[in-house]
Structure 1
C-alpha cells in the first residue's frame, strides 16, 4: 500500500499530496506560530491541542461524506441478494480515530450463512470473491476495489481518503446473545484450537464490542490517540516503511490505558498525556496491558486463555474484545523506543523541568507473579533515593525555620516540629505520597485550646511560609496550595529533576506528651485527659491523633524494611481499588490498612525475611473478614489504669471492624459501619484469583495460602489479666 503519510502534507498510497503543502521552516510569527506548522517534534507543548485541530482532525463535512459512502456500500451489499444480517464499522473509522488525509476503516458484514466461527473460516474466502464481483459491477466502486489477501475499497472525498476493508464475518453476539460472553469466548478458543487459526483471526467478529469500548472515552482522549498515531506514522515515514494497522491499534489501546490509569479527567494537558505514552513505549519490555470489560477470570476456559496470554513474553497489549489477540506482539518496539526518547528530549516537549507526566505503571499488580512481587515493589513503588534525600533536606530546613524563625517576633514558641506520615515512617510510595509536619506550640496548653485556636496559627504559619518560600532556593519546588482547610496548611514538595512529589500538611498541635521521656510516665495522664474530653464534649475519636504523631511513627519506623515494603504494596493495591470506585466511595483510611498489615505480620510471621505473597494474601484475607476484626495494641496504653481500662473495654465492644490506633486509644480507624469496608472486601475477594497468589510447582500451579492470624484480640491475648471474658 505504500507509505501512509498523514496530515495536510501527507502522501496517500499513490504518493500524491492531500491538501496544502507544509509551510516549511518559516513558521514563526508575532505569537510564535504562523498559519503553517513545523514538524511534530518542533511543536511547542502548549500548542499540541491546536496542532491536532489544525492538522490531524478531519473536517466534520469530510466525515459526513465518508459516512454516506460507507452507508451506500452497506446498503448496496445488503440489497445484492447476499445473506447480510447486520453490519459493524471498525478500524480507525469505527473507533472515531481517523487521521486527516489518509486512514483506515473496516466494514464488517455479519452473514446469516455463518452460524459459527468455523463457518466463517471455511467460507469467508469464497464469499469475499462474490462481494468483489458485485462491487466491481457498481460503476462508483469498479475502479477502487482490490482483492489481495483482503477485499478493500478506496473512498475519497475532498482530500480525505479511507481504505475500507470489507470483511464477511460470523456474529457471535447474535448467535449466543450478549449475556453469554463466557460461552462465546469458550467457543472461540475451542474453534481456534480445532482449525488452528492465527491469534486474532476472528477479531472482526467482535467489531461491535470494539466500537462500544471506544465510545466510553472522551473526545479529548481520542485526540491524544490521533497525536500518537500521527507520530508513529512520521516514524515509519522516516524508515520508509508502511505503518501496520495492527500496531497502530496497539498504540491506540496503549494511549487509552495511559489516560485510564493515570488521569481520568476529561480536560487534561495534552503534553502530559504524550509524555506518559512515550514513557510507556520506552518500557515496552515490561508492558502488560489488558481489560476485563468483555471477558474475565470467572470462566475456567476463558481464565486459562487469558492467563496464558498474560504469562507470555512481553510486550502484551490484549484486544479488549478478543483475549486471543495480543496486538502488541508484533512491531518494531526497539526502534520506536529510540524515537520516543528523541521526542521526550526535544526542547518543545521538554519545556519544563521536570516535564510532567502521569504516574502509570507498564504492568498491573494483578497479573504480577508471586515470585516477582519484591521486584515490582523495587521497580515501581519505592521512591527514588535521590528524591528522598532532597525531601529530607528540604523538610529539615522548613522545620528549622518553623522552630526558630516563624514566631520570633511573638511570645509564641515552637516547642518542636515533628515529621509524620508515610515519608517519615519509611512507607512512602514513588509518587503522590503524604507527609505531615506537626508543630507543637506553647500557647496550645490543652486539647481544647488546640481545637479552638489552631485555625489562627495556621494563618500565621502560612503567611510566614509564603515569605520563606520566596527567599529560599531549595533542591525541590515548594508550592503552597491555593486553598486549604482552616485548620491545616497544605503544600507540595516537587523534585526539580524527577517526576516525583510529596504532599505535606502542616498541623499545629498541643504537646500532650511533653518531650516523650522513656516509659509511661506522662502518657497515662495524657490519655486520661483525652478520654475525659471525648466523653464530655462529644468530639470524634481520633480528632487529636496529631498530638501522638511521634508514637505513630515510632510504631512503624522500627519495623523491618521488608514489612515497610509490604505496606507499600498494600497501599498501592488500595489506590487501585480507590480508582475503580465511581462514584467515589468512602473507603476506610489508608492508615487502617497500614495497621492491618503490621498486625498480619506480627501474628503470622514476625520474621525479617518472609514471603511477600503470603503477607499480601493474609492482609486481603483480613479485609474480607472485616466484620469480625477486633485489633489493638498495648504498646503505648494498656488496661492497668482507670479510666483507660474502662474506655478500652468499651472501644473493643463497638461494632466491628475495630482497629485501634496504637498511639491514640480514641482513634478507631476500623470505624464499624462508618466506612465502606464491604466494597474493599469485595475487591479483596476478586483479587484472590490474581497471579500474585499463584506458585508454580513443576508444570502445575498452586495457590498461595495466608498465614494463620486471629481476627479477634482480647485483653488476655495481650497479657492483660482482667477477667475471663469481656463480652467480645
Structure 2
C-alpha cells in the first residue's frame, strides 16, 4: 500500500483518501482469505454434525445467518447466527421461551459431549447463559461469534414461500402480540439467498458502510443502535437502483448511500422477491408498512419487519454523513452519486406528483446547459471537419430524442444527432451506405475526444460497442448524477429545409410507402429522416405535458427493470405518443391535474387491445396513395399507434411487443398506488379518453363503407 496511511489513523475511514478506499477495504476490512476459508470449513463441519447426530434427531437443517450468512463479516471480530430448524417447532407460535430453552439445553449438552473439538481446527468456545447459546470460532486474525437459535422452518425446501406462510405469520403476530421482527430468523435461508448472488464489490461497499457506522457508534457512545441489516439493505437498494454493475466506482457508491441516509425522512425501501401485492393479506401488510412514518426499510424476507427502527439514530447518522460528504477525501474527487430516489413513485400521493417530477425527474439546468454546449461543439465538428478530406458533405445536423423535445429524465435519457449527408440520396442508399459513414464518424469523434483544445465541461465517452446502424456515446456530468446517451445516425435528407409550421409534400411519403410495399424493410426503419417532425410534434406542447411524459417514462423504466427478462416491451415512444393522445382528448389545457393524466395513460395501457391512435398533422387522407395506405394501417391488429412523422411506423406494433406485461403492471398500480389518491385519500378519476380514432374523427371524407369496414375490423380484433 505504500505510505499513504502513514500520516492518518488507519481506523478512521473518513480520513482515507477516496481513491484509496478499495485498498482500505482490502487491507483493513475484508477478512483474510485463509482465515475465512478455515472458519468456513469449521462452520460446515459443525452444521453437518448437528444435522447428522442421532442425539439430536429433530434437527432438520441448519442455516447460516447474520453478517456471516450474508458474507459481510468484518476483519477481526464479527458476528453470525446458526439457525437450528427443528421438527419440535412446527409453527411460528411454537417459538416460546420454554421450547427454545429446552432445545438449546440439548444442543449445549451435545456440543460439550461431542468430539467436535477434534474436527474443528479453529479455537472453539461454547458458552451458555440466560441470554442464549453461542459458539465462538477464532483463527489467527479472525473471530466470529455465532448465536445459536432454534426456529420453525417457514421456508422448507422451497425457493420462495407461499402466501399462506405470510398469512400465518400475520395471524400469529396478532395472536401472540409478538414484535413484528421476532420471527424473522425463520426466514434466514431467504436472507442468505438474497445476498448470495450479489457481486463481491457490493459486499465490499457494505463493509465500508458498516465500518463507518461502527466508527460513528464509537464516537457517539450514547447513540441508539441501528440494526446493521438496515444499512446492508440500504446499500443493496442504492446499488440496484443506481448502478447494478459488478464493477463500479466505490466513491459513487458511498456517496449514494450517504446521500440516502441524509434523506432518511423520505426513505421507503422494499422488495417483492419473496412476497408481493398479489395476495390480499400480504398486500395489506405491505401497504400498512410502506405508508407508515419514514424511514421504512422492509426486510425482503419478512414484510412485517421494518428494520429502520430508531429515528434518533438516523438523525445523528445524517450529521455524520454530511460530515464525511463534505470532507476533503470525498468533496474534491470526481464521481457523482448514482441517481437513486429515497421514495418510490407509487407511494407518492397524487397532489405531490408535480413536486416528485421537479425534484427527482427533471434534469439539472446547469447540466443541460453544459451538455448543450458540448453537443454544439460535436455537431459543429461533424458538420465542418468530419468529412473535410472527402467530397462528402453534411447538409445539416439535427438534434432529436427526449433531450431536444424537453422530456429528458435526470439520468439515462436518450438523444439523437442525425447527420443528413449529401451522399445519401435515397432511403435505399441510407440503408446500404450508413455503416461506412458510421465507421468514418467513429474515427473522427475518437480523434476529437483525444484533442486538448476542446474544453468539455461534461464527460464525453464513446461506446466501444460496434453497431453498423448507429454510433453511440454518453455525456455525463462530472459533479452530478445527470447523464444522456446519444446516438449519431447518418440519414437521407427526405424533407429538405424544415420551418415552423412545415408540412411535407405527399410525394415524400409516396416514395416511402412504395418502398415499404415493395421490399422487406421494417416499418419505421427510416424514421430518422423525419426527426425534425418528431421533435416539433412534442416540443410545441405545454411544459406540464412534457413533465407528464417524464413521469410516464420513469414509470416505464421501473416496469422495464422488473419485466425485461419476461419479454420485449413496447418502445418508450409508444408511451410518449399515448400520453399526448390522452392529454389532447382528455384535457387539452396547459394547467391540468398530473395525477388525472397519469391515471388516464395507465388506464389506456390496460386497454391496449382497443388502441388505434394516429394524427394528421404531417400526412392525411387527402392524397389517394396516402389514404389507401392509412386505411390499411389503421385496420392492423391492435394496438395501433402511428408515428405522426412517419406513417409506416406503427409503434403500437400489434402483437410484436408484450403489451400484456405492461398492462398487468398498470392494473397493479391502479389498484394500490397512492399516486391516484389525493391528500384526503379520495380516489382521483381519469379523463374520459377514446381508445380508437376513425378517419371521420379526424375530419376525413372517406367512402361511406370505410367507416363500417373500420368498425367491423375493430370489433373483430376485440372479439
TM-score, normalised relative to structure 2: 0.87
Q: 1:59-90: per-residue Cα shift (whole Å, max 9, x none)?
A: 34445346536854885697666954543322
Within 1, Cα distance between the matches of 2:308 and 2:194?
18
TM-score, normalised relative to structure 1: 0.86
2:376 matched residue in structure 1: 396
CA contact (8 A) 1:613 1:692 kept: no
1:338 matched residue in structure 2: 319
CA change 1:497–1:461 in 2 (3 A) is same
Q: 1:318-341: per-residue Cα shift (whole Å, max 9, x none)?
A: 111111211112262233233334
CA contact (8 A) 1:108 1:207 kept: yes
Within 1, Cα distance between the matches of 2:506 and 2:50?
87
Alignment of 1:115-514 (within 5 A): 115-121=90-96, 123-124=98-99, 126-127=101-102, 130=105, 134=109, 145-173=127-155, 181-240=162-221, 244=225, 247-330=227-310, 332-349=313-330, 352-353=333-334, 355-406=335-386, 412-469=392-449, 470=451, 471-514=453-496
Which among 595, 600, 608 is matched to residue 613 of structure 1?
A: 595
Deviation, 1:422, is: 0.3
1:682 matched residue in structure 2: 664
Q: Matched residue of 2:576: which SS? A: helix
CA change 1:181–1:521 in 2 (3 A) is closer
Structure 2 gap ranges (5+): 118-122, 714-719
Q: Matched residue of 2:299: which SS? A: coil
More deviation in 246-255 or 209-218? 209-218
Within 2, Cα distance between the matches of 1:318 and 1:198?
14
1:673 matched residue in structure 2: 655
CA contact (8 A) 2:18 2:333 kept: no
Are residue 536 (structure 1) and residue 497 (structure 2) matched?
no
Are residue 95 (structure 1) and residue 70 (structure 2) matched?
yes
CA contact (8 A) 1:114 1:169 kept: yes
Are residue 40 (structure 1) and residue 13 (structure 2) matched?
yes
Q: 1:80-122: per-residue Cα shift (whole Å, max 9, x none)?
A: 6695454332211222222221111122233444343333246
CA change 1:479–1:116 in 2 (3 A) is closer
CA contact (8 A) 2:337 2:480 kept: no
Deviation, 1:589, is: 1.5
Q: 1:632-661: per-residue Cα shift (whole Å, max 9, x none)?
A: 101110000121111111111222221110
Deviation, 1:521, is: 6.2
Deviation, 1:310, is: 0.2
1:68 matched residue in structure 2: 42
Within 2, Cα distance between the matches of 1:267 and 1:475?
25
- What is the RMSD computed on CA atoms of the aligned residues? 3.4
- The total of aligned residue pairs comes to 695
2:550 matched residue in structure 1: 568
CA contact (8 A) 1:151 1:165 kept: yes
Alignment of 1:685-700 (within 5 A): 685-695=667-677
Within 1, Cα distance between the matches of 2:663 and 2:684?
18
Q: Matched residue of 1:686: which SS? A: helix
CA contact (8 A) 1:58 1:101 kept: no
1:638 matched residue in structure 2: 620
CA change 1:193–1:453 in 2 (3 A) is same
1:7 matched residue in structure 2: none
CA change 1:105–1:453 in 2 (3 A) is closer
CA contact (8 A) 2:133 2:148 kept: yes
CA contact (8 A) 2:154 2:161 kept: no
Within 1, Cα distance between the matches of 2:25 and 2:124?
34
Within 1, Cα distance between the matches of 2:478 and 2:250?
21
Deviation, 1:45, is: 4.7
Q: Matched residue of 2:592: which SS? A: coil
Which among 532, 545, 559 is matched to residue 541 of structure 2?
A: 559
Within 1, Cα distance between the matches of 2:274 and 2:568?
28
Q: Matched residue of 1:294: which SS? A: coil
Are residue 52 (structure 1) and residue 34 (structure 2) matched?
no
CA change 1:105–1:407 in 2 (3 A) is closer
1:28 matched residue in structure 2: 2
Within 2, Cα distance between the matches of 1:468 and 1:487?
21
Within 2, Cα distance between the matches of 1:125 and 1:481?
59
Deviation, 1:392, is: 2.3
Structure 1 gap ranges (5+): 1-26
Deviation, 1:549, is: 1.4
CA change 1:301–1:464 in 2 (3 A) is closer
CA contact (8 A) 1:136 1:142 kept: no
CA contact (8 A) 1:659 1:671 kept: yes
Deviation, 1:426, is: 0.5
Q: Matched residue of 1:318: which SS? A: strand
